[in-house]
Amino acid sequence: MKKILAIICLLVTVGMLCILPSIPVHAQNLGGIGDALTGETTESTVIREPGSSSSQDELGELNIANSLIITQRGDNGSVNGTLRILITLTLIGLAPIMLIMLTCFTRLIIVLHFTRAALATQTAPPNQVLLGLALFLTYFIMRPTITQIYTEAIVPFDNGTITQEEFFETAITPLREFMYGQTQTKDVSMFLEISGTEWDGTLEGIPTEVLIPSFIVSELRTAFIIGFLIYIPFIVIDMVVASSLMSMGMMMLPPTTISMPFKILLFVLADGWNLIIGNLVKTFY
């Protein structure tokens, strides 16, 4: 029923359009003034030829012509404010992934968590403290790289002296150099073999999409090796305490309850945080 009504309405509309008489429309040309005339005036609205204005006031005057001119002014060709906000919001959304995957943050946070687990202190220090410490250490280690990116990529791009393609290429170069220094050759070879890419042994011969996963795998391996070395002295303490409890017949008492104070005492006497954080930071230099 609805389709029939729609067809009837369409036929009625077409019939009305056919019945209405055609109305001719003609352009008016008065006095031979030319195509620049509009309406019934005898004076041209074209004050001067397009592109002939020499001051800001002349640009602001009414000047109608049969041409369109787009003028870019200000900022020396820099990014528009709205587009700049969009890019900034996009970078903020990608910042956590870039922070974890392209910096030393992964190794730092894993080693700190291994240290807390070896001490068996459960939630001391809490996650917020470990994350904050890892973030500040990441900034300390990555500061030369961040400074290089800012001076060589962000400042020239903001001044309009380099293009967008040159900006991305210049900004990723310091990060590639940092990741390449911390990446093991066997990890790069593995991903290059998987992707079917030949490698000439240089940084320029490694694509970024290959370098990033190679760097992450190398960071995980290094972090777990450091964590194992941290665990060794604390395991010795657990074994000594467990043997002592068994020799005294106190098998119902959990060894971790007795060993944890001794672990903390050993850690404090050896100035453990200084040793672990200091040597962990030195692994990047």
What's the 3-state SS for 185-238? HHHHHHHHHHHCCCCCCCCCCCCHHHHHHHHHHHHHHHHHHHHHHHHHHHHHHH
CA 85 to CA 19: how far, in whole Å? Answer: 55
Q: State pTM to two decimals.
A: 0.65
- Residue located via tokens 């068996």: 120
Per-state percent for the chain, helix, strand, coil, to nearest 5: 65, 0, 35
The 10s digit of each residue's pLDDT in 207-266 is: 888 899 999 999 999 999 999 999 888 888 888 888 887 777 777 777 777 788 888 888
- How many Cα atoms occupy the beta-carbon half-sphere of 237 within 13 Å? 20
| pLDDT of the residue at 248 | 78
Is residue 238 within 8 Å of residue 256, measured between CB atoms? yes
Is residue 37 within 8 Å of residue 29, measured between CB atoms? yes
The 10s digit of each residue's pLDDT in 119-145 is: 888 888 888 999 999 999 999 999 999
